[in-house]
């Protein structure tokens, strides 16, 4: 009996210490650790499991034989990281390297034994993309590359055995995307004249591409899969002649919709999953405050219902699968849990845990991410999220406004675990995230309403949310800070001079400070879409006054509150010298400036130690300039 009690106590000890004592501050490093294992995938035959393993701050590919459990490391990079890979056969993988700025530079093929490695691209100034992740005749890959002309991507048949590239289709100069069918035949493309986008189709590779349908770029038409049951048809996410995205079957001969598979006036389709094994659409994902699946196949519905039983009270989605669809890699998450990876054997309903995303996080210590909504000053409904520190009453709290990065076709804040949000909430701040107009997921009209509104309506949508929180007495109006990365960093700096009485301090991580310079830095292969980009951001020739008003670099004299500025000298999107000069101008005016230099342009490329240094500096800045005020 004594031995039993002793063993029980030994079992309970790690559970007791698994979560730190309530009220004790969680170390910065716990939130921002690099994943030891990530990027899980499966070979097409389901015999091999692949993943990234981090060791000595370098990420390499590991292959595990699922039957035996034996593992081997197949890449041995010491100077750069592998940042992406894909299986192209049961035996071969293609992987990409990144340099310190986050730019993909080298493409390699290697077999699962770690042998027969060769570099596929030979021009470091050009970019290459694998269009279809399958080898043709065990030696050819269909790839796109801008090696002939830096402004356009042609399509090549690349012989991975001898390195020879044979042009399959020459880009006339306006093709922005290429699509291959299940047999790796190039049959679909999209072109752009700068404002309008055209879907092009051909029945076989001996024919010329012909236009199917043309829409303004504000309209969404995204091919998902070729129909293998209906000739000359594709499945696509479309908001043609509607505000919200739907899933449709499109006739590529007529440009007309054969049928609508899923549509809802209030729901916006953001993802659609096709089953190559069943040769039909499986489900769509719609996102309001949370992502939700709507099933188009009863067997798929039963599949996820079984997963829900095995993994209760968590969200789950597929990140990898074999070709027969018997074996799956599943990722889970909640708003308080970074989640885990599992190997799911569908035939017997068994799960095998592969790895936690971040084992240092104790779920009980994290805070709930709550959906909120409010009206803007001109009556538009704005949705967002509010995360409150769990150990404090929801009253008179210091607030961090956290605008999301980007204003592209798929950028928004979403419900789920966010390390920055949880870190800030753990330090006693309320964290406010707004899906301002221009954000994705709320329909065509809402997204277009954000165009050319950088520093205008977008900023006002965020401010109106802050005013609502003050009115509700949730936050202290004298303790409001704003912080963001990329576009979010731009919004933070813009808000400091355009709304000088609202914010106590602001912080920018790789934030844009000069819209003229940002537009000038757009890569040459976006040439066909340049007018489209001008319509979203502003034209440097015809919108000079607006762009100047919206660019923080010209308004250093109007900023009066403390500022935290972080950047990397390797970030190609930002003129680092201009940022440093901006910081000096602020200091000349006796503005309290904290300048932080990051080692790498791509934040994910920085080590866990680098991220810890960054967030420690940010924490100190907010503590001194916001919390103690």
Conformation bin of residue 532: beta by default, left when phi > 0, alpha when psi is -120 to 50: alpha
The alpha carbon torsion through 295, 296, 297, 302 (nearest 10 deg) reads 10
- Between strands 81-87 and 118-119, the pairing is unpaired
Q: Say if residues 77 and 58 touch (Cβ distance below 8 Å).
A: yes
| pLDDT value for 292 | 95
| pLDDT value for 97 | 83
570: confidence class by pLDDT, cuts 50, 70, 90: confident
| pLDDT value for 100 | 57
pLDDT average, residue stretch 418-422: 97
- In 254-361, DSSP assigns E strands to 257-262, 269-275, 280-287, 291-295, 315-321, 327-333, 340-345, 350-356
pLDDT average, residue stretch 262-278: 95
- Specify which residues 260 forms β-bridges with: 248
Lowest-pLDDT choice from 331-345, 369-383, 560-574, 604-618: 604-618
pLDDT average, residue stretch 223-229: 95
| pLDDT value for 553 | 97
Q: What is the mean pLDDT of the chain?
A: 91
Is pLDDT of 61 > 80? yes
- Between strands 563-568 and 475-485, the pairing is unpaired
Burial of 193 (0-12, 13-18, 19+ CB in 10 A): middle
Residue with tokens 């039957």: 67
| pLDDT value for 78 | 76
| pLDDT value for 7 | 41
CA–CA separation, 427 vs 445, rounded Å?
38
Is pLDDT of 75 > 70? yes
Is pLDDT of 10 > 60? no
Q: Say if residues 475 and 430 touch (Cβ distance below 8 Å).
A: yes
| pLDDT value for 428 | 96
pLDDT average, residue stretch 488-501: 95
CA–CA separation, 538 vs 605, rounded Å?
31
Secondary structure tally for the chain: helices H, strands E:
12, 35
Is pLDDT of 3 > 60? no
| pLDDT value for 1 | 33
DSSP 8-state symbol, 581: H
List the structure tokens of 155: 């399509």
Candidates 581, 590, 580, 585; CA nearest to 560 is 590
Q: Report the SS3 class of residue 404.
A: coil
Q: What is the pLDDT of residues 147-177, one digit of tens each?
A: 999 999 999 999 999 889 999 999 999 999 9
| pLDDT value for 406 | 75
- Between strands 257-262 and 505-509, the pairing is unpaired
Lowest-pLDDT choice from 29-38, 91-100, 281-290: 91-100
Q: Say if residues 329 and 354 touch (Cβ distance below 8 Å).
A: yes
Q: What are phi and psi of 218, to 5 degrees?
A: -70, -20
391: confidence class by pLDDT, cuts 50, 70, 90: confident
| pLDDT value for 573 | 80
Alpha-carbon separation of residue 169 from 156, 175, 248 (angstroms) = 7, 11, 28
Burial of 90 (0-12, 13-18, 19+ CB in 10 A): middle
| pLDDT value for 606 | 67
What is the radius of gyration, based on Cα positions, of the chain? 25
- Specify which residues 249 forms β-bridges with: 235, 259
| pLDDT value for 82 | 84
Candidates 400, 423, 575, 576; CA nearest to 503 is 400
For residue 6, what are the contacts with CB-CB under 8 A and spacing of at least 6?
Answer: none
Burial of 489 (0-12, 13-18, 19+ CB in 10 A): buried
Q: Percent of the chain at pLDDT above 90?
A: 82
Q: What is the pLDDT of residues 130-151, one digit of tens each?
A: 999 999 999 999 999 999 999 9
CA–CA separation, 156 vs 148, rounded Å?
11
340: confidence class by pLDDT, cuts 50, 70, 90: very high
Is pLDDT of 355 > 60? yes
Residue with tokens 């101008």: 585
pLDDT average, residue stretch 605-611: 78
Q: What is the pLDDT of residues 191-217, one digit of tens each?
A: 999 999 999 999 999 999 999 999 999
| pLDDT value for 604 | 57
Q: Percent of the chain at pLDDT above 70?
A: 93
| pLDDT value for 464 | 98
pLDDT average, residue stretch 234-248: 97
493: confidence class by pLDDT, cuts 50, 70, 90: very high
CA–CA separation, 429 vs 414, rounded Å?
19
pLDDT average, residue stretch 395-423: 91
Order of strands, sheet of 369-375, starting from the edge strand that comes earlier in the sequence: 369-375, 381-387, 430-435, 397-401, 475-485, 505-509, 563-568, 593-598
CA–CA separation, 316 vs 313, rounded Å?
10
């Amino acid at each position: 009996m004594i031995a039993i009690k002793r063993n029980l106590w030994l079992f309970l000890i790690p559970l007791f210490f698994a979560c730190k004592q309530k009220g004790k501050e969680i170390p910065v490093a716990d939130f921002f650790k690099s994943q030891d294992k990530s990027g899980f995938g499966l070979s097409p035959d389901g015999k091999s499991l692949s993943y990234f393993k981090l060791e000595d701050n370098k990420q390499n590919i590991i292959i595990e034989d699922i039957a035996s459990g034996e593992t081997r490391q197949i890449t041995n990079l010491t100077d750069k990281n592998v940042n992406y890979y894909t299986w192209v056969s049961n035996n071969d993988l293609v992987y990409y390297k990144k340099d310190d700025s986050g730019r993909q530079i080298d493409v390699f093929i290697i077999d699962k034994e770690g042998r027969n490695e060769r570099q596929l691209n030979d021009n470091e100034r050009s970019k290459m993309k694998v269009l279809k992740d399958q080898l043709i005749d065990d030696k050819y890959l269909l790839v796109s590359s801008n090696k002939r002309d830096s402004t356009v991507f042609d399509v090549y048949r690349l012989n991975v055995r001898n390195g020879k590239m044979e042009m399959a289709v020459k880009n006339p100069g306006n093709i922005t995307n290429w699509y291959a069918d299940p047999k790796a035949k190039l049959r679909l493309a999209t072109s752009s004249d700068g404002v309008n986008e055209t879907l092009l189709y051909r029945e076989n590779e001996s024919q010329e591409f012909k236009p199917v349908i043309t829409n303004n770029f504000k309209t969404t038409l995204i091919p998902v899969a070729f129909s293998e049951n209906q000739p000359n048809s594709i499945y696509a996410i479309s908001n043609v002649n509607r505000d919200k995205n739907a899933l449709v079957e499109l006739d590529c001969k007529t440009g007309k919709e054969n049928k609508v598979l899923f549509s809802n006036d209030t729901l916006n389709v953001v993802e659609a999953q096709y089953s190559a094994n069943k040769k039909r659409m499986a489900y769509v994902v719609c996102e309001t405050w949370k992502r939700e699946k709507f099933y188009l196949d009863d067997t798929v519905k039963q599949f996820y219902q079984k997963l829900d039983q095995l993994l209760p009270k968590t969200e789950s989605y597929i990140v990898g699968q074999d070709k027969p669809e018997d074996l799956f890699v599943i990722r889970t998450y909640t708003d308080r849990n970074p989640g885990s990876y599992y190997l799911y054997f569908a035939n017997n309903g068994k799960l095998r845990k592969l790895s936690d995303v971040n084992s240092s996080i104790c779920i009980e210590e994290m805070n709930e991410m709550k959906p909120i909504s409010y009206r803007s000053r001109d009556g538009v409904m704005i949705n967002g999220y509010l995360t409150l520190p769990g150990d404090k009453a929801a009253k008179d709290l210091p607030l961090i406004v956290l605008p999301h990065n980007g204003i592209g076709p798929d950028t928004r804040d979403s419900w789920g675990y966010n390390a920055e949000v949880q870190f800030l909430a753990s330090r006693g701040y309320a964290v406010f995230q707004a899906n301002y107009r221009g954000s994705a997921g709320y329909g065509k009209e809402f997204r277009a309403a954000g165009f050319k509104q950088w520093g205008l309506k977008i900023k006002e949508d965020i401010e109106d949310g802050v005013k609502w929180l003050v009115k509700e007495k949730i936050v202290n109006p004298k303790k409001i800070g704003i912080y963001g990365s990329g576009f979010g960093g731009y919004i933070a700096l813009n808000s400091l001079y355009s709304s000088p009485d609202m914010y106590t301090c602001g912080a920018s991580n790789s934030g844009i400070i000069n819209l003229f310079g940002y537009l000038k830095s757009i890569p040459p292969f976006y040439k066909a879409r340049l007018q489209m980009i001008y319509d979203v951001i502003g034209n440097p020739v015809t919108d000079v006054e607006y762009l100047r008003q919206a660019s923080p670099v010209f308004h250093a004299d109007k900023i009066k509150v403390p500022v935290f500025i972080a950047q990397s000298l390797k970030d190609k999107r930002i003129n680092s010298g201009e940022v440093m000069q901006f910081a000096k101008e602020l200091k000349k005016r006796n503005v309290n400036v904290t300048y932080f230099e990051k080692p790498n342009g791509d934040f994910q490329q920085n080590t866990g130690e680098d991220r810890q240094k960054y967030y420690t500096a940010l924490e100190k800045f907010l503590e001194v300039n916001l919390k103690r005020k």
